Chain A
Amino acid sequence: MQPNDDAGMPRDTGDWPGDAPWQPLPEAARRAFRWSGLLAWGTAGLLAGPLAAVAWALAQGPSLALFGAAAVPPLLAVGLALWQADWAWRYTRWRLDADGLRLRRGRWWRQERMVPRARVQHLDIERGLIERRFGLATLVVHTAGTAHGALRQAGFAEAEAMQLREALVPERREYDDDDPGT
Chain B
Amino acid sequence: MTRAPEAASGSEARRALQAAATQRLHPLSWLFILLQQLRNFALPILLLLVSGRGEQNPAELAGLAGAGVLAVMAVWQYFTYRYGFVGRALVIRSGLLERNLRLIPFDRVQNISLHQNLLHRLFGVAEVRLESAGGGVGETEARMQVLRLAQAHALEALVRANPVRNGNDDEVTPEPPAVRWLHLPTRELVRLGLISNRGMLVVAAALGLLSQAGERVLGGASDAVVDAGRQGLALAEGWQPGPLAWTLGGIALLLVLLALVRLLSVLLAILQFHDFQLWAGQRELRVERGLFSRMRSHLPKRRIQAYSLRESLLHRWFGRQSLRVDRASIEIPGETSLRDLVPLAPPATMTAVLGHLLPAAAWPPGRWNGLHPRAWWRVFAPTAVGLLVLTAALIAWRGPEAGWLLLLLPVLALRAVLWARYSAWSLEQGVFTFRQGWLDRHWRFVETGKIHVVALRETPFDRHHGMASVQIDTQGASPLEPALFVPYLPVVEARALAEALRAALPHDPGINRARTVASAARAG
Contact-residue size bin, chain B (C-beta under 8 Å from the other chain):
35 or more
Cα separation A108 to B449 with both chains bound (whole Å): 32
User: A147 to chain B: which residues have CB within 8 Å?
Assistant: 453, 471, 473, 477, 483
A19 in contact (CB, < 8 A): no
**Which A residues touch B452, using CB under 8 A?**
119, 143-145, 148, 175
Confirm or deny: A7 has a beta carbon within 8 angstroms of a beta carbon on chain B: yes
On whether the beta carbons of A109 and B460 are closer than 8 Å, the reply is yes
Choose, from B1-9, B25-33, B508-516, the stretch at the interface. B508-516
Chain B residues, CB < 8 A from A63 = none
Contact A114 B454, beta carbon cutoff 8 Å: yes
Counting CB contacts under 8 A, is B356 at the interface? no
Contacting pair B476 A146 (CB below 8 A): yes
Q: Is A111 an interface residue (CB 8 A)?
A: yes
The reply to whether A119 and B457 contact each other, CB–CB distance below 8 Å, is no
Is B340 in contact with chain A by the CB < 8 A criterion?
A: no
Say whether B492 contacts A12, CB under 8 Å.
yes
| A116 adjacent to B502 (CB under 8 Å) | yes
Q: How many residues of A contact B (CB 8 A)?
A: 51
What separation, in Å, do the CA atoms of A114 and B517 have in the docked complex? Answer: 21
Chain B, Cβ-Cβ closest to A104: B456
CB-based contact A116/B455 at 8 Å: no
CB–CB A167/B455 < 8 A: no
Q: Are A167 and B453 in contact (CB under 8 A)?
A: no
Task: Say yes or no for B374: interface residue by CB 8 A criterion.
Answer: yes
Tell me whether A80 is interfacial, beta carbon within 8 Å. Answer: no
State in angstroms the CA–CA spacing of A123 and B458 once bound together: 27
Asked if A111 and B373 sit within 8 Å, CB to CB, the answer is no
CB contacts (< 8 Å) of A60 on chain B: these are none
Residues of chain A with a CB closer than 8 A to B454's CB: 113-114
Interface centre among B302, B374, B495, B507 (most CB of A within 10 A): B507
Q: Mark each residue of chain A from 149 to 166: 1 if its CB lies under 8 Å from any CB of chain B, else 0.
A: 001000000011001101
A79 vs B449: C-alpha distance when bound (angstroms):
46
B459 adjacent to A171 (CB under 8 Å):
no
Given contacts A113-B455, A118-B508, contact A11 B514 (CB under 8 A): no
A145 touches B507 (CB 8 A): no
Query: Is the C-beta of B398 less than 8 angstroms from some C-beta in chain A?
Result: no
Contacting residues, chain A, for B122 (C-beta < 8 A) = none
Q: Which of A10, A117, A168, A176 has the most CB of B within 10 A?
A: A117
The reply to whether the CB of A66 lies closer than 8 angstroms to some CB of chain B is no
Interface pair B515/A143, CB less than 8 Å apart: no
User: Which residues on the B side are within 8 Å of A5 (C-beta)?
Assistant: 466
A residues near B283, Cβ cutoff 8 Å: 180
- B372 close to chain A: CB less than 8 A: yes
Whether a CB of chain B sits under 8 angstroms from the CB of A170 is yes
Q: Which of B373, B475, B507 contacts A118 (CB 8 A)?
A: B507
Report B447-475 residues with CB < 8 Å from chain A CB.
449-450, 452-460, 463, 466, 468, 471, 473-475
Is B509 a contact partner of A146 (Cβ separation < 8 A)? no
Contact with B along A79-111 (1 / 0, CB 8 A): 000000000000000001011100000001111
- Bound Cα distance from A115 to B508, whole angstroms: 12
Do A109 and B453 form a contact, CB below 8 Å, given A11-B466, A143-B473?
A: no
- Give the CA-CA distance A9 to B371 in the complex, in Å: 11
**Residue from B457, B490, B508 within 8 A of A99 (CB atoms):** B508
When distances are taken between beta carbons in the complex, the residues of chain A under 8 Å from B328 are 144, 177
Tell me the interface secondary structure of chain B in the complex. Answer: mixed
Q: Is B240 part of the binding interface, using a Cβ–Cβ cutoff of 8 Å?
A: no
Interface string of B488-524 (1 = CB under 8 A from A): 0011100100100010011111111111011001100
A-B contact count (CB 8 A): 158
Is A52 interfacial (CB-CB < 8 Å)?
A: no
A167-B373 in contact (CB<8A):
no
Q: Given A117-B508, A170-B508, A180 and B521 touching (CB < 8 A)? A: no
What chain A residues lie within 8 Å of B133 (beta carbons)?
Answer: 176
Please report the C-alpha to C-alpha distance between residue A164 and residue B521 in the assembled complex, in whole angstroms.
Answer: 11
B473 and A177 within 8 A (CB): no
B492 to A174, Cβ gap below 8 A?
no
Assess whether B518 is in contact with A119, with CB atoms less than 8 Å apart. no
Q: Is B255 among interface residues, defined by CB-CB distance under 8 A? A: no
Q: Does B166 contact A (CB under 8 A)?
A: yes
Q: Are A99 and B505 in touch, CB under 8 angstroms?
A: yes
* A180 CA to B282 CA, complexed, in Å: 12
Are A111 and B474 interface neighbours, CB within 8 A?
no
The reply to whether the CB of B14 lies closer than 8 angstroms to some CB of chain A is no
Measured in the bound complex, the distance between the Cα atoms of B492 and A172 in whole Å is 33
Known: A11-B466, A167-B518. A174 touches B508 (CB 8 A): yes
Give Cα A143 to B458, complex, Å. Answer: 23
Q: List residues of B whose CB falls within 8 A of some A CB.
A: 107, 133-134, 164-166, 283, 302-303, 328, 372-374, 449-450, 452-460, 463, 466, 468, 471, 473-477, 483, 490-492, 495, 498, 502, 505-515, 517-518, 521-522
The 5 lowest CB-CB distance pairs between A and B, nearest first, are A171-B510, A145-B473, A145-B452, A118-B508, A146-B477
Known: A96-B515, A108-B460, A180-B164. 17 other contacts (CB 8 A): A14-B491, A108-B459, A109-B459, A114-B453, A114-B455, A115-B453, A143-B452, A146-B473, A146-B477, A147-B453, A147-B477, A163-B521, A171-B508, A171-B510, A171-B514, A178-B165, A181-B449
